[in-house]
Structure 1
Amino acid sequence: MFYRYEHNNMDETTPLMIRPQQGPQTGQLPWDPRRSCIAGVLVLITLTLERLAFYALVANLFLFLSLGRWSPDSGMTAVLLLVGVAHFSALGGGWLADAWIGRYWALVAGLSLYVVGFSLLTAAAAGVLCNPANSTSPFCVTEMYAIIICVGFAAGTVRANFPSFGAEQVKYGGTDSLRRFFNWYYWCVNIGSLLGVGALSYVALDMPNGFLRAFAGTCGCLIVALILFACGRPYYLVHRPAGSVLMNILCILCEAISGRCHLRRQTSIQSSPLIERRSQRPVTSPSWLDYAKIRYGGSHHDAAVEDVKKLGIVLLLFTSLLPYWLVFFQIETGFQEQGVHLKIGFEKNFNMPTAWLSLFDQIFILALIPVMNSVIYPYFDRHGYRVTLLSRIAFGMSFSFMAAIAAGVLEFLSIYQWKHGNRVTQVIHNVTYNASDMSLLWQVPQYCLVGTAEVFAGVAGLEFAYSAAPRPLQGVAMGMFSAMEGIGSLLGTALISALSPTWIRKDSQHFQGHLDYYFFLLAGIQGWALAIFTLWLLVKRVREMNSTPTPPPEPAPVS
């Protein structure tokens, strides 16, 4: 899974990672490492503050609405709406940037929309937007849904454009500049998540007027993020939008389909002229998308059609990551369900919150990414090996597979212990749960394995989306990456609903079900996807080796 390169050719195969030569003949500005460093740091700080705000809202919205007399199903629906809008609106945010206003102004618009949403949320927490006093009905229903949609669209717009915009600032800094940037990008995402879930959740729950303080502080962080990002305008490389990209894609697809159908009709009606035409064609037959090219009767240039082909490859890779996302979202679903039925009590009457274990995932990522950036990847680089993006995705799938196996084994042992009388009864948020006498800390390995999978597959997926997609479609590609996460979440929810009557039961009957079978099923789906992906990598590597021309033998010396 390692790609060996020679020391005299350190560049990646993609032109986006080749550092341009300086000089007037290239038509590009000389490389300025100081400008790139300032721009990259400003982008990462802004990203950290934005992720802090988003995860703080996701972690506290349900409880905030519950205290406002929202029913449990209404509160969960609101949280799912927020996450769903944030994932699926990223595709629209990427299109907006690519086609109309550019990534810089799309990010400014997204951050401004964030500030508006959190300002309204702060006003709702203060009782200014709507007064909850002397009312028995849920408060601010219409206003809260408007705020949720506003913040969701802001998050989607920012999520689609931050990776590409940040990579544009640093991509000419050397062969490993993109790899280092996307690793630090993911590191900052998890720092923001850690602060949002940890610190602001503490402020919201343990201080007087906690939610007002938390939302006001978060709004202040977003204002600082917007100001910092805007102040970095003189240091940014800003590209112009490329026009209505999605319309061009649709036109190419329609012309390709119609051209292919027209050719098939000609094949059935006029066989002899078609044979004559085929004899004049090159040996390699065109793909169905090629029929949108001018040379095959379409109206689009070759470069535009080839861009759509590249976007199709990116979409195929994102589809192969769906099993990975199924396992990843167990942090918020299956692992939590498993955790409440493990012993949370420790000495001195201390009960560990089950949600705290998700912090092990983030802490592990924060510790592992600097090690990979500073030690592991440079070690392989020095010895002439390059860990390719596709190899890193395969490694991430492997760790995801091991995480699902670890969760299934732990659940199997937990059920075994409970059935043999090793039981405890514990109260979590005024709800009584039956649990086995196995410590909650046994979940730590599976959280760490999921974190390791993120470091490989999550980071490499972002980098691949940027590197493989053509520049006019990079925002759309990032939006597709986010939308695939949302599809993975929806598939996981559908799978849980399908298995709920048998394997996944209500809490009072947890040990009569088989949550371990569910985890093993996820492991099987991920293992099947990993096997196909690995086989494809091996075939691809063999074809590359066979297509590499061998140098002619040197002539024998004349005696």
Structure 2
Amino acid sequence: MERSGSSKAKCVTGNNGEAELKLCNAESRRPGWITFPFIIGSAALWSMGGTGWMTNFIVYLIKEFNVNQIDAAQIYNVINGCVSLLPILGAVIADSVLGCFLVASISSFVASMGIVLLSLTATLNSLRPEPCGNKSSSCKAPSFLQFFVLYTGVVLATLGASGVRFTTATFGANQFESHKDQSTFFNWFFFAAYATYALSSTLIVYMEDNVSWALGFWLSVAANLIGLAVFVAGNRYYCHETPQGSPLLSLARVVIASFRKRKLQLPLNTDEFYYGQHERNKEVDIPPKKNFRFLNRAAVKIDGDTKSDNSIAEPWRLCSVQQVEDLKCVIKMLPLWSSAIFLSTPIAVQTSMIVLQALTMDRHLGPHFMIPASSFLVMIMISASVSLALIDRFRSTFPLWKKITGLPPTVFLRIGVGHLLSVLSLIVAALIESFRLRTAHLHNVDTPTVPMSALWLSPQLILVGIGEAFHFPGQVSLYFREFPVNLSNSATAMVSAIIGISFYLSTVLVDLVRRSTGWLPENLNNGRLDRMYWLLAGAGMVNFGYYLVCATLYKGKDESSSSSLPMTDDAGEK
């Protein structure tokens, strides 16, 4: 992988079972596709283990812990937010101390221990409250011990899942040299995650609903532990990045140093800037750019900033020009990043509310089989998986696309299509919910099941999945490509942070709507969830306009326009 400025890495190989270490720098060949089955296999199993308990957790809280429906959806959103936001912490630890391999391995073990505790709550009657049947007034709340074991398991499982989620993606991409191979890896990484999510959301969730919650949770434990074994088994082939210290702290130092020197006049002589301990190499280093000029003060050398060997005397007062430029690169990405937050928030609301909608609808397929409410979310993963495979094959038609349109398909076009499909899914969701409410009011709204097939929820879910196949891998590829080299872990975690913040915002939004309107009562048949979907669709269109402005104005780290960033790098390497 030709990336200038890349740190050295240790490649672990072996002959006759004996491990042999050698240095693998930016010019050396990376192991490549030999690592693919180990990394994708472990990622798939970890996805199965994580989603096996998480996907159906709303129903578990409602049926086994007597939790209010909307409250259960809110708890689910908080858990998803943590799973998606905490990978930033995992990226910092990987960059600073342990590296991706150890962070992923340790996190997988922690997740397994958390799911073991959840499995115990499903296995031992003493760790669950007594069932309350038809939600009568005699429902007994869980005891302190029952809640303690449940939420301790949730915390451990969540921490573990967050540690493997995007750290594994970065680790896998770093095994390849070319951007084309990295792009292909990201597509198949998401495909494997979605496909196994689909499997666990059907097979494991069905077992939880119809056979035994304990069996479903213990299967999740097994998947997690087998995934760890597969990941460790490939260690002899991996290229391990050597931790170089957290780049996020480096960015923080630039902010503090520029603030401390805010009254300093910027010099006209570029030699007064600090380029590193070994002085400026005019063939490589360039003066700080003029954008965000106030940050350039962090790289200005004054008396006492450096030691006799030209190293930095106080890191929070002086930074290198490269550190300053790295922060500028991140700042330029923030508007695009923020547009993705408001793209994902409606999706977070949909995925939790759809489970509650499905619980009120007819979920039978034939006279003897009933689809678990949580399993409807599998349609997102199936449509996303199929779409990812088709998008990957779409590469062969790139020359034809360019010939017809005169423009190459860019990563910004891919993300923009995802925005529009998300809005379309909300419009369809609002129309279907309006139809469901009319059907409910034609009958008794207090009837547990509305005489309407839950398969009506499929169109909106399919649109969400197709949209995710466009915008999620597109964002990962964009951030990985545009972020500085030493921020590669943080770059992939940025997408995870988007999802996490979106789930938190969805929790706040649902709570705000529930408090200020009558749209979300305990019985959805008495509410107006369709109005909330219309509200989100309108906000989505406004956000799409904001995204178009951000994408149009964006200049890449090499000052290229957004229209010159291809969807993949088939045309050549950077």
Normalised by the size of structure 2, how large is the TM-score?
0.76
SS in structure 2 opposite 1:238?
A: strand
Show the counterpart of 1:83.
80
- Structure 1's 190 and 68: CA in aligned 2 closer, same or farther, altered over 3 A? same
**1:178 correspondence with 2:178:** no
Show the counterpart of 1:250.
252
More displaced stretch, 458-467 vs 225-234: 458-467
How many Å separate the matches in 1 of 2:184 and 2:168?
Answer: 15
How many Å separate the matches in 1 of 2:268 and 2:187?
Answer: 55
Per the TM alignment, residue 343 of structure 1 is displaced from its structure 2 partner at its CA by: 5.8
Per the TM alignment, residue 307 of structure 1 is displaced from its structure 2 partner at its CA by: 1.8
RMSD across aligned positions (CA): 4.0
- Structure 1's 366 and 88: CA in aligned 2 closer, same or farther, altered over 3 A? closer
**1:227 correspondence with 2:241:** no
Show the counterpart of 1:492.
506
Show the counterpart of 1:553.
none
Task: Please tell me the residue identity of whatever aligns with 2:37.
Answer: V
Report % sequence identity: 20
From 163, 169, 172, give the equivalent of 2:175: 169
Per the TM alignment, residue 509 of structure 1 is displaced from its structure 2 partner at its CA by: 6.9
Show the counterpart of 2:155.
149
Task: Please tell me the residue identity of whatever aligns with 1:390.
Answer: F
- Structure 1's 518 and 204: CA in aligned 2 closer, same or farther, altered over 3 A? closer
Aligned residues of 2:77 and 2:507 also touching (Cα < 8 A)? no
More helix by share: 1
Show the counterpart of 2:376.
357
From 207, 212, 215, give the equivalent of 2:214: 212
Aligned residues of 1:85 and 1:149 also touching (Cα < 8 A)? no
Show the counterpart of 1:312.
331
Show the counterpart of 1:236.
238
**1:504 correspondence with 2:512:** no
**1:42 correspondence with 2:38:** yes
Task: Please tell me the residue identity of whatever aligns with 2:467.
Answer: A
- Structure 1's 498 and 257: CA in aligned 2 closer, same or farther, altered over 3 A? same
- Structure 1's 153 and 347: CA in aligned 2 closer, same or farther, altered over 3 A? closer
Aligned residues of 2:87 and 2:496 also touching (Cα < 8 A)? yes
Show the counterpart of 1:454.
468
Show the counterpart of 2:343.
324
Per the TM alignment, residue 137 of structure 1 is displaced from its structure 2 partner at its CA by: 5.1
Aligned residues of 2:66 and 2:141 also touching (Cα < 8 A)? no
SS in structure 1 opposite 2:447?
A: strand
Per the TM alignment, residue 283 of structure 1 is displaced from its structure 2 partner at its CA by: 10
- Structure 1's 514 and 535: CA in aligned 2 closer, same or farther, altered over 3 A? same
From 315, 335, 348, give the equivalent of 2:354: 335
Gaps of 5+ in 1: 1-10, 18-25, 267-273, 549-559
Per the TM alignment, residue 356 of structure 1 is displaced from its structure 2 partner at its CA by: 3.7
More displaced stretch, 469-478 vs 52-61: 469-478
Aligned residues of 2:52 and 2:200 also touching (Cα < 8 A)? yes
Show the counterpart of 2:207.
203
Task: Please tell me the residue identity of whatever aligns with 2:249.
Answer: M
How many Å separate the matches in 1 of 2:203 and 2:521?
Answer: 32
- The total of aligned residue pairs comes to 502
How many Å separate the matches in 2 of 1:531 and 1:59?
Answer: 32
Normalised by the size of structure 1, how large is the TM-score?
0.78
- Structure 1's 506 and 156: CA in aligned 2 closer, same or farther, altered over 3 A? same
- Structure 1's 528 and 15: CA in aligned 2 closer, same or farther, altered over 3 A? farther
Show the counterpart of 2:309.
none
Map Cα deviations across residues 259-294 of structure 1 (whole Å, 9 max, x no partner). Answer: 23x14xx7xxxxxxx99999x999947522222113
Aligned residues of 1:81 and 1:148 also touching (Cα < 8 A)? no
- Structure 1's 202 and 406: CA in aligned 2 closer, same or farther, altered over 3 A? closer
Task: Please tell me the residue identity of whatever aligns with 1:190.
Answer: Y
- Structure 1's 65 and 276: CA in aligned 2 closer, same or farther, altered over 3 A? closer
Map Cα deviations across residues 13-72 of structure 1 (whole Å, 9 max, x no partner). Answer: x8699xxxxxxxx9656546xx42121221111011111111111134455556655544
Larger Rg: 1
How many Å separate the matches in 2 of 1:354 and 1:121?
Answer: 20
Aligned residues of 2:77 and 2:506 also touching (Cα < 8 A)? no
How many Å separate the matches in 1 of 2:448 and 2:482?
Answer: 49
Per the TM alignment, residue 187 of structure 1 is displaced from its structure 2 partner at its CA by: 1.0
- Structure 1's 348 and 176: CA in aligned 2 closer, same or farther, altered over 3 A? same
- Structure 1's 343 and 16: CA in aligned 2 closer, same or farther, altered over 3 A? farther
How many Å separate the matches in 2 of 1:63 and 1:546?
Answer: 44
Task: Please tell me the residue identity of whatever aligns with 2:95.
Answer: D
How many Å separate the matches in 2 of 1:432 and 1:275?
Answer: 76
From 174, 192, 195, give the equivalent of 1:191: 195
More displaced stretch, 487-496 vs 326-335: 326-335
- Structure 1's 96 and 366: CA in aligned 2 closer, same or farther, altered over 3 A? same
SS in structure 2 opposite 1:446?
A: helix
How many Å separate the matches in 2 of 1:510 and 1:315?
Answer: 40
